[in-house]
Structure 1
Amino acid sequence: MADHLPLLIELGTEELPPKALPDLAQAFYDGVLKGLAARRIDVRTDASDLRAGPLYSPRRLAVFLPAVAVQQPQQQSEVLGPYMNIGLDAEGKPTPALLGFAQKNGIAWEKLDRVTDAKGMRFVARSSRPGAATLDLLAEITAEALKGLPIPKPMRWGSRDIAFVRPVHWLVILLGRDVAPGEVLGLKADRMSRGHRFHHGKGVWLNDAGEYLQALREAHVLADPRERRERVRAEIAAAAREAGGQARVPAELLEEVNCLVEWPKAILCSFEPGFLRVPHEALVSTMEANQKFFPVHGADGKLSEKFIGIANLDSKDPAEIRKGYERVIRPRFADAQFFFDEDLKQGLPAMAEGLASVTYQQKLGTLADKTARVAELAAALAKALGMDEAAARRAAALAKADLQSRMVGEFPELQGIAGRYYATAAGEPEAVARAIDEAYQPRFAGDAIAYSPLGRVLAIAERLDSLAGGFAAGLKPTGNKDPFALRRNALGLARTIIEGGLELDLPALVAIAAKSLPAGVSLDAKELEDFILDRLRGYYADQGVPGTQFDAVADVRPASLLDFDKRLKAIAGFARLREASSLAAANKRIRNILRKVETPIPAAVDPARLVEPAEQSLHGALAKALADTDPLLAQRDYVGTLKRLAELQGPVDNFFDRVMVMADDAAVRDNRLALLKLIADRFAKVAAVEQLSAS
């Protein structure tokens, strides 16, 4: 008999929630592996065996492992008994306590082993027994794995007190050719699986665990999600070629559709070309979010009237399925067309007037009030960047108007996008129309910032007002609560400034935002600036920037976030220099010395009071370094500045090795402190490099 056999566990259910299905399957797989490992049952993995891993479809969760040991290894046990002084009397004979322990464990007391711990030597009973058969443990392992699944709201069915994410109907547990004994979720383990609900209405008999995938394939079920996903992708590609275009296949939609079908078949469909004058984003949203269809773009890259649906069967009459798909999409498209036409009649300026009747926040007024504040901020930003202030004001005045549109009322995800269409239709400049849309970028984590200069101005102004207003109104995020999405706004603002290469004074901008706030609310500007910087910490951490390097720059609080980014890149380069650790430690030592000084430190060094060769050498080297780095700092060449200052490592180390800073002579002491302060101040022109010191 083989010592390792393939293992299959399959739980058959009613249709599982598609978005949760991959995580459920992975958790089930991990739980089975954990259960096997806890029982010391060997599992051999072979990367070439593509069957191994979590398997799933809408009606099943399965685990396949190509080689699992048929038996546990020999089980060793150890039971601690009495200590020697208790187990043996003065004559070395066993006491009743020792005899009782030996009898309980079925071992003659003379054959008991002995171990020593902190309290002394004691008796121990050691034994071994054959491991249990894996087959007998599989039901228990399966039950444990299912119990550990992330199911927030399990449901009950029938008259039994059993709960799971969906009602269960069959259970297969096979080790090789053998069925495991036992029950799970009220089901007795069997070898009978089930095929496709319509293509294969009878059971699927499994002779051996290893034939699982092929047996289900013959029953019109692709149980391997990887194989099924590629089939979906291939079906979409073939249908798109037939249409003479290319399908849009978002990864999330592909995965969701993959979890909705067992035997995918693409159906090429179409809608009336007249609908294409509706904002394409509305059509795409309807196809993807509501109906799980894949839009098709023509050879020119534009949205076409074709789309692809994925059926869960290979129909003898695909035309009927096509009619059904086309039928369900038309009412939503017709609604979108109606809303679009009605909005065009009303016009964006009229929509903007309606913002005066919509409360933004009780302490911050209406959406019209917010629009006015954003317009002031946008104009100030445009002026600072040498851009058209009037265009910035106009874009800000119209940016929120589409919130009053019927289109956004039906399709909230079209905020800004609808405004762009309406602005274009009204003859607004292209830059203004684009900015209305781009003001929302980045819309989500990983999304790009606004592309156009005016779009970036509007995106910053919008977020800055939301942040200033939110903090002033007492809406700061707490724990997981962030109703005004201030964390996301802060990161979006910072990213737009940095990635957009915009030279802006953050404290000055916060001050402008604070002045625009309504009477009765006040803003702690430093608190808001700290909050924005704290969002940057996570932003840079995701890029692999160590916290010590971030803190080194944050400590000097550059007014410009773009300047912050430049300093951070310079610090990263400095940290790689061999001189960095020594200079960081020296700066830390300097800071500690200066922090303890209670009397004023002279602003300049008196060369006549430099009596030691080491301090004279350091002063000379520092004077040259200061002269060399003055023009570099003026150009914000922080890389060059730190590289030049790194040359001070030798003189600085020599100074600390040979010179007593806190000399008895006050004048000499103050002169040395002045020398150290010059060093610290020059490094601080870039960053607090002492933060890099590990000591």
Structure 2
Amino acid sequence: MTEQALLIELGTEELPTRTVDELAQAFAGGIVEGLNKRGFNLDANSAQVYCSPRRLAVLLPAVAAAQPDQTIERRGPAAAAAFAADGTPSKALSGFAASCSTTVEQLQKLETDKGAWYVFRSEQPGQPLAALLPEVIAEALKNLPVPKPMRWGDHDYAFVRPVHWLVIVHGSEVIAADILGLSSGRDSRGHRFHHNKTVPIASAHSWLADLRAAHVLADPAERRERIRAEVARAAQETGGQAQLSDSLLDEIANLTEWPVAIACAFDEDFLRVPQEALIMTMETNQKFVSVLDDNGRLTRHFIGVANIDSLAPAEIRKGYERVIRPRFADARFFYDEDLKSPLIDQLESLKTVTYQQSLGSVWDKVIRVAELTRTIANRVGVDAAQATRAAALAKCDLMSRMVGEFPELQGVMGRYYAAANGEPADVARAVDEFYRPRFAGDGIASGKVGQVLAIAERIDTLCGIFAVGMKPSGNKDPFALRRAALGLARTLIESGLALELPPLLQEALAQLPEAAFVAGLPKSKDGKPPLLDAGARRQEIAAELFEFVLDRLRGYYADAGIAGDRFEAVRALNPADLGDFDARIRAVDAFARLPEAEALAAANKRIANILRQAQAGAATAGVDSALLAAGAEAQLHQSLLGVQAAAEPLIHGRDYVALLRQLARLRAPVDAFFTDVMVMADDAAVRANRLQLLTQLRQLFLHVADISVLQPAN
């Protein structure tokens, strides 16, 4: 059957910018799914998804004019109950045949592993695409992710925005359909200003070109490329460099159908306001693009992207410059007002802000974090006075006017205010950097004071929220604890600070009010307050939190290209210092690539099984060389002694890479031992001595990881 391209376009009022791409993908997916349910067997990856502020569209390159012929199968009664004892058809079988408009003789028997059944099969001609498509489109639109559909006029139907036209073209032929009060045709619409009239679509394949001629770039990828090029051109006019993020690009692309960039400028006096605040108001409120100089400093220029190729661009420029002025004036006012009092003066006002009902106010949290910060700073040799000061200031900018307007600037504004108040540079930087990593791919705090504060802040958050019983569940994580745990783990690893996590968790939990632990307990049936053993509860939560943090590391190492078996090999030992954990896993990853690794991993697995079955404990005495048989057994012992001597300084120095290279030398004697020696000898003394030899070998590897869990290379 001949296949032709199918185009479906739904024209609307301007769609919400943040939902356009999602709606377009869902619409195309719904169309493909609906057609495939009806036997068209389309490749979902072949669907070409298009959208603009005023349209959702999908182009399917090859769709048949009708669905394939359908085989209809209806199952009737079981064969065992289909006939009476005299061989006549049962009422059930006769009734089934009649319902299928056939005779008992024309029914077929279906053999299954659960018995035999009578079935009716018939061939039904495939229905035309034109007959099926209206229902497919209606289903796709109904299943779109539209949380609050709107109604318009006196219609009963609803959609995300009012709809105005519907194009359905198969090849060059229109398919008739009535959807959301629209009758389909071949007339699309051009640009609202450049071509405010219908655009006849000659064929599905000509649709993009037809709209392009009407000043509409319906391909979102093409529209984004044009915006990049236009913004770069406008930035070149100013002599600066445009800062166009992917998120801002997406918003501009979903606001325009024919984007044209216009270079603008604002009063230079506004540049005394922190540039992050100016950039935030430009991007958030106006969708303007900031322009930086070669040193990354904001210039007085910015770029607006119009949805029109104007004959008077200077007038648009004046409009853009006029609307940005009051926004910047507000930002300047907030900044000037915030500077009238020192940042630390806001600390007391944090008492009025509830952090969590059972955990107290934000002020209470600051006090806990400051104490934990002091403890950590003293432990790692960081200036404890500066770290504690940074902790006291860290949340104060939440009460500032600027952060009240732009919550995304918390930390950033704290740094500016702290610096303006004469705080030490390391303290001011820490007030901002302790939030890092803020997002995937972001680095950790660069300064030691910020790193210590970042660790303390995240530990307090994790301990407090786990204590009150609000840990993440499924896809629910309202306090972003998974992100906090990964940020904590990354900071502990990447900072190089030697800290054991379990004791820190215990210390943080010890600072929490008892009400937090009561809140986290399950409610009793009689309504009485549950009995609380605070000490046991702290131990339980600390262990749970340590595992929670380790679980976040699995994805961290997977992103670094380190296989899961390497992670499990180290996790089996649960190193308390995550920096040490990192050193071990990278050493194991390097070891696993050695030619000796697979054999030694298999040997370790065999040794672990032997020792477990023999219930052999830790090595408590040396190996008796007098009980060793000459040959492979004695050779393994000598090799082990040599490696142990070389390994001692490497173990103390945590040089795990070099240690595993030393252990790789044991491959040949270990292979020979298992080839020539019977471990479970009849002589009890010989057997015990051999188990002791294997125990020492096993424990030497366990100074790094349990390599018995390493998987063979593919």
TM-score, normalising length: structure 2: 0.86
Per the TM alignment, residue 104 of structure 1 is displaced from its structure 2 partner at its CA by 8.7
Per the TM alignment, residue 14 of structure 1 is displaced from its structure 2 partner at its CA by 1.9
Query: 256-265 vs 67-76, which deviates more?
Result: 67-76
- Equivalent-residue separation in structure 2 for 1:359 and 1:578 (angstroms): 58
- Equivalent-residue separation in structure 2 for 1:134 and 1:422 (angstroms): 66
Matched residue, 1:594: 611
- Equivalent-residue separation in structure 1 for 2:203 and 2:156 (angstroms): 32
Conservation of the 8 A alpha-carbon contact between 1:6 and 1:209: yes
Residue of structure 2 aligned with 1:258, choices 253, 274, 279: 253
In structure 2, what residue type is equivalent to 1:682?
Answer: L
Please report the RMSD computed on the Cα atoms of aligned residues, expressed in angstroms.
Answer: 3.7
Query: 72-81 vs 575-584, which deviates more?
Result: 72-81
1:690 pairs with 2:708? yes
Matched residue, 1:23: 22
Conservation of the 8 A alpha-carbon contact between 1:355 and 1:367: yes
1:563 pairs with 2:575? no
1:668 pairs with 2:668? no
Change (3 A) 1:45 1:450: closer
- Equivalent-residue separation in structure 2 for 1:469 and 1:332 (angstroms): 39
In structure 2, what residue type is equivalent to 1:144?
Answer: E
Matched residue, 2:189: 194
Matched residue, 2:520: none
Q: Secondary structure at the match of 1:11?
A: strand
Q: Secondary structure at the match of 1:260?
A: coil
Q: Secondary structure at the match of 2:497?
A: coil
- Equivalent-residue separation in structure 1 for 2:385 and 2:600 (angstroms): 51
Residue of structure 2 aligned with 1:629, choices 610, 627, 647: 647
Conservation of the 8 A alpha-carbon contact between 1:87 and 1:97: yes
In structure 2, what residue type is equivalent to 1:540?
Answer: Y
Per the TM alignment, residue 174 of structure 1 is displaced from its structure 2 partner at its CA by 0.7
Matched residue, 1:214: 209
Residue of structure 1 aligned with 2:280, choices 259, 278, 285: 285
Matched residue, 1:491: 486
Q: Secondary structure at the match of 1:169?
A: strand
Change (3 A) 1:649 1:197: same
Work out the percentage of aligned pairs sharing the same amino acid. 57
Query: 2-11 vs 489-498, which deviates more?
Result: 2-11
- Equivalent-residue separation in structure 1 for 2:694 and 2:288 (angstroms): 69
Residue of structure 2 aligned with 1:620, choices 638, 641, 653: 638
1:141 pairs with 2:136? yes
Matched residue, 2:529: none
Conservation of the 8 A alpha-carbon contact between 1:612 and 1:659: no
Q: Deviations over 1:111-135 (max 9, x none)?
A: 9988766689998876656544333
- Equivalent-residue separation in structure 2 for 1:105 and 1:262 (angstroms): 56
Query: Which structure 2 residues correspond to residues 508-527 of structure 1 after superposition, within 5 A?
Result: 508-514=503-509, 516-517=511-512, 523-524=538-539, 525-527=542-544
- Equivalent-residue separation in structure 2 for 1:365 and 1:206 (angstroms): 64
Per the TM alignment, residue 194 of structure 1 is displaced from its structure 2 partner at its CA by 1.6
Per the TM alignment, residue 151 of structure 1 is displaced from its structure 2 partner at its CA by 2.6
Q: Deviations over 1:105-164 (max 9, x none)?
A: 899999998876668999887665654433333323322332332233333334443232
Query: 13-22 vs 582-591, which deviates more?
Result: 582-591
Query: Which structure 2 residues correspond to residues 7-86 of structure 1 after superposition, within 5 A?
Result: 7-41=6-40, 53-76=48-71
Per the TM alignment, residue 444 of structure 1 is displaced from its structure 2 partner at its CA by 2.1
- Equivalent-residue separation in structure 2 for 1:365 and 1:123 (angstroms): 70
Per the TM alignment, residue 57 of structure 1 is displaced from its structure 2 partner at its CA by 0.8
1:546 pairs with 2:581? no
Structure 1 gap segments, 5+ residues each: none
Residue of structure 2 aligned with 1:439, choices 409, 418, 434: 434
Conservation of the 8 A alpha-carbon contact between 1:8 and 1:174: yes
Matched residue, 1:534: 551
- Equivalent-residue separation in structure 2 for 1:442 and 1:528 (angstroms): 20
Matched residue, 2:4: 5
- Equivalent-residue separation in structure 1 for 2:316 and 2:114 (angstroms): 79
In structure 1, what residue type is equivalent to 2:31?
Answer: V
- Equivalent-residue separation in structure 2 for 1:466 and 1:120 (angstroms): 60
- Equivalent-residue separation in structure 1 for 2:337 and 2:113 (angstroms): 86
- Equivalent-residue separation in structure 2 for 1:413 and 1:472 (angstroms): 28
- Equivalent-residue separation in structure 1 for 2:116 and 2:483 (angstroms): 63
In structure 2, what residue type is equivalent to 1:678?
Answer: Q
Matched residue, 2:238: 243
- Equivalent-residue separation in structure 1 for 2:470 and 2:44 (angstroms): 52
Change (3 A) 1:90 1:528: closer
Query: 630-639 vs 70-79, which deviates more?
Result: 70-79
Conservation of the 8 A alpha-carbon contact between 1:588 and 1:691: yes
Per the TM alignment, residue 77 of structure 1 is displaced from its structure 2 partner at its CA by 5.2
Change (3 A) 1:213 1:498: same
TM-score, normalising length: structure 1: 0.88
Q: Deviations over 1:258-302 (max 9, x none)?
A: 011122222333222111111111111111112211112235532
Q: Deviations over 1:325-367 (max 9, x none)?
A: 3333333322221121122120123233444554444554544
Conservation of the 8 A alpha-carbon contact between 2:29 and 2:44: no
Conservation of the 8 A alpha-carbon contact between 1:266 and 1:309: yes
Conservation of the 8 A alpha-carbon contact between 1:347 and 1:422: yes
Change (3 A) 1:105 1:244: same
Q: Secondary structure at the match of 1:6?
A: strand
Matched residue, 2:421: 426
